[in-house]
């Protein structure tokens, strides 16, 4: 035998068994690679054939949380990335694919393999379809995806991180007790401030001298303010002077009393406008005022429920004034519900809905809480007693405002003037029918009744219309004469137009018409604002 013979002797160390590689049928081999993207990884089965690697599309899309739908009849794979606007499509009948940038390309037969459970594509197809880089590392069996933009799985992770760091402290600041810089220190008398101003003016006929001085000191644990003004007219030898003083003691964190005023006080409340129309008006008393009104304007009004319905299992995010406040998954029927704190003024609420397949919908609303509303169950009172400085009559009045519901606040005011037997009663009620739609009523049995409507829109401005029926007579003066108004009525309106189309103007219109059977007066005024902004950058 003229052939070379080889004898292969195999020595086996440790063990007698040798395992030969399985024979792989159909000239392809199943490989196990780790699919990696950002911090995420998953082991997947790939197909290796003729030195080419084929990556399972459905498993890859599922891993990346990219929506995908396979129409088996038409052999079309369709889906989108993120917010459902980035669509892609693979048509295996026409052998073309379109990525979400609109890039269209053909598919060659050797660029994909079909199995019962998945369709395997070459890295090039996956790369161009998703506009990502797909790198294969054979030594550590890794398929690495690199993307310039965040793929949904990363977006979701960031979202969950955002949820984990979610804090609602900022929205609940009224409940937050800030640390005191130092404890309250009671002093009989302590340092203060004194300011004064002396001025003189002269013209051909007159010479005037004026003075004004203010003193503020800490006195008996409270604050004492003293103001003195006066003047002297040289020609008339007239000397005028006036002064007022006020001492206030504040109570810390007391629901029933927040301060006592002694001295010259005004019967003004931060929320009640009933005094505007009462006999007392903004009158000044020398006497005492006790109240549990907030010494600073409160911020948080109350909790509101925001609820609605969307698709089941959607992620719902709630933003308050553009900051994420809370998030939840809608239930099996698609319902969601949030309890949010609402502040005085406008609270912009935005809901963002994220679908399971990357769908995105948002809607927003504005919750308006004017300052006249107070928290349900809360009450604010103010009591004044003393001698009215102008009429020199003893006067006592008081008001109490009740927060009945989120949408109803009512204020009652009673006034008794010493020399008059009758009591002056005023009621003001504020009713919020729905967001940005408020009705105010004002009723004083002896003097007037009034009703008004206020509309406030996020983008279209604020409008107010008010009607008042006066039950008493009064005089109206103009430059020429005086008119006696009996049984008169008044309509007030105002409109604050926003800056439409980002134009640098805004317009405010105000008007009123007062009339009775004999007279009619119309007052109009407008205010046009111009915004000029100059950026140096």
Residues that bind other proteins (CB under 8 A): 1-15, 17-22, 29-34, 43, 45, 139-141
Nearest distance in Å: CB 1, other proteins: 7
8 A C-beta contact, residue 451 and residue 467: yes
| DSSP letters for 123-165 | HHHHHHHHT-EEEEETTTTEEEEE-SS--HHHHHHHHHHHHHT
Nearest distance in Å: CB 10, other proteins: 6
The residue with tokens 């009462």 is 278
Nearest distance in Å: CB 158, other proteins: 24
H or E stretch at 57: helix 57-64
Instruction: Between 11 and 186, name the residue whose CB sits nearer to other proteins.
Output: 11
| DSSP letters for 103-123 | -EEE--GGGEEE-SS-EEE-H
The residue with tokens 């899309």 is 61
Beta bridge partners of 294: none
Nearest distance in Å: CB 140, other proteins: 4
Instruction: Between 44 and 349, name the residue whose CB sits nearer to other proteins.
Output: 44
Spatial distance between the Cα atoms of 73 and 88, rounded to a whole number of angstroms = 18
206 alpha-carbon distance from chain centroid: 57
Nearest distance in Å: CB 127, other proteins: 22
Instruction: Between 21 and 305, name the residue whose CB sits nearer to other proteins.
Output: 21
Instruction: Between 3 and 533, name the residue whose CB sits nearer to other proteins.
Output: 3
Both tokens of 286, joined, read: 């020398």
Nearest distance in Å: CB 271, other proteins: 60
Instruction: Between 7 and 177, name the residue whose CB sits nearer to other proteins.
Output: 7
Nearest distance in Å: CB 28, other proteins: 12
Nearest distance in Å: CB 8, other proteins: 6
How many other C-beta atoms are found inside a 10 Å radius of the C-beta of residue 469?
13
The residue with tokens 């005004």 is 266
Instruction: Between 7 and 178, name the residue whose CB sits nearer to other proteins.
Output: 7
Cα–Cα distances (Å) from 338 to 127, 137, 328, in that order, read 41, 48, 8
8 A C-beta contact, residue 516 and residue 490: no
Cα–Cα distances (Å) from 170 to 187, 301, 370, in that order, read 35, 14, 21
Spatial distance between the Cα atoms of 71 and 334, rounded to a whole number of angstroms = 27
3-class DSSP state for residue 210?
A: strand
Nearest distance in Å: CB 137, other proteins: 9
H or E stretch at 230: strand 222-233
Nearest distance in Å: CB 63, other proteins: 13
- Work out whether strand 520-530 and strand 505-515 pair parallel, antiparallel, or are unpaired: antiparallel
205 alpha-carbon distance from chain centroid: 59
Instruction: Between 10 and 235, name the residue whose CB sits nearer to other proteins.
Output: 10
Instruction: Between 27 and 252, name the residue whose CB sits nearer to other proteins.
Output: 27
8 A C-beta contact, residue 356 and residue 362: no
Instruction: Between 30 and 307, name the residue whose CB sits nearer to other proteins.
Output: 30
Contacts 24+ apart (CB under 8 A), 497-504: 497/461, 498/459, 498/460, 498/461, 499/531, 504/530, 504/531, 504/532, 504/533
155: nearest Cα among 33, 45, 88, 67: 67
Nearest distance in Å: CB 39, other proteins: 16
Instruction: Between 3 and 237, name the residue whose CB sits nearer to other proteins.
Output: 3
8 A C-beta contact, residue 119 and residue 132: no
Instruction: Between 24 and 524, name the residue whose CB sits nearer to other proteins.
Output: 24
Nearest distance in Å: CB 33, other proteins: 7
262: nearest Cα among 282, 244, 278: 244
Instruction: Between 62 and 516, name the residue whose CB sits nearer to other proteins.
Output: 62
């Amino acid at each position: 035998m003229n052939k070379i013979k080889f004898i292969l002797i195999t020595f086996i160390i440790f063990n007698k068994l040798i395992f030969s590689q399985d024979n792989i049928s159909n000239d392809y081999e199943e490989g196990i690679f780790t699919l990696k993207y950002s911090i995420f990884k998953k082991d997947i089965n790939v197909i290796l054939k003729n030195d080419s690697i084929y990556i399972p599309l459905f498993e890859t899309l599922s891993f990346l949380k990219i929506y995908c739908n396979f129409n088996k009849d038409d052999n079309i794979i369709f889906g989108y990335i993120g917010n459902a606007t980035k669509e892609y499509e693979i048509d295996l009948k026409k052998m073309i694919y379109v990525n979400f940038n609109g890039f269209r390309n053909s598919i060659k037969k050797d660029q994909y393999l079909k199995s019962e459970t998945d369709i395997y594509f070459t890295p090039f197809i996956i790369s161009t379809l998703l506009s990502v880089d797909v790198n294969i590392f054979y030594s550590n069996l890794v398929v690495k995806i690199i993307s310039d933009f965040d793929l949904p799985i990363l977006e979701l992770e960031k979202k969950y991180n955002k949820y984990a760091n979610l804090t609602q402290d900022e929205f609940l600041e009224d409940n937050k007790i800030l640390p005191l810089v130092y404890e309250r220190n009671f002093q009989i008398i302590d340092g203060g401030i004194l300011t004064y101003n002396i001025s003189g003016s002269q013209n051909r006929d007159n010479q005037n001298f004026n003075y004004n001085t203010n003193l503020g000191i800490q006195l008996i644990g409270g604050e004492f303010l003293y103001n003195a003004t006066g003047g002297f007219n040289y020609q008339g030898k007239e000397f005028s002077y006036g002064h007022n003083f006020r001492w206030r003691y504040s109570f810390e964190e007391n629901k029933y009393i927040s301060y006592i005023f002694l001295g010259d006080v005004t019967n003004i409340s931060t929320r009640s406008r009933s005094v505007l129309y009462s006999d007392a008006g903004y009158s000044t008393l020398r006497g005492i005022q006790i109240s549990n009104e907030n010494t600073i304007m409160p911020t948080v009004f109350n909790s509101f429920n925001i609820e609605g319905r969307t698709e089941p299992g959607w992620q719902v995010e709630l933003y308050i004034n553009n900051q994420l406040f809370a998030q939840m998954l809608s239930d099996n029927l698609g319902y969601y519900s949030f309890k949010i704190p609402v502040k005085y003024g406008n609270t912009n609420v935005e809901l963002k809905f994220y679908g399971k397949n990357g769908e995105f919908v948002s809607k927003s609303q504005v919750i308006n809480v004017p300052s006249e509303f107070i928290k349900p169950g809360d009450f604010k009172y103010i009591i004044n007693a003393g001698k009215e400085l102008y009429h020199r009559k003893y006067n006592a009045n008081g008001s109490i405002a009740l927060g009945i519901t989120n949408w109803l606040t009512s204020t009652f005011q009673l006034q008794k003037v010493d020399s008059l037997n009758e009591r002056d009663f005023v009621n003001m009620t504020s009713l919020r029918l729905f967001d940005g739609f408020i009705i105010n009523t004002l009723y004083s049995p002896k003097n007037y009744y009034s009703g008004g409507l206020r509309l406030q829109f996020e983008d279209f401005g604020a409008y107010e219309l008010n009607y008042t029926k006066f039950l008493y007579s009064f005089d109206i003066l103009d430059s020429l004469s005086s008119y006696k108004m009996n049984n008169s009525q008044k309509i007030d309106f105002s409109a604050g137009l926003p800056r439409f189309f980002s134009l640098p103007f805004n317009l405010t219109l105000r008007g009123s018409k007062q009339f009775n059977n004999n007279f009619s007066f119309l007052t109009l005024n407008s205010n046009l604002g111009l915004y000029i902004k100059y950026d140096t950058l």
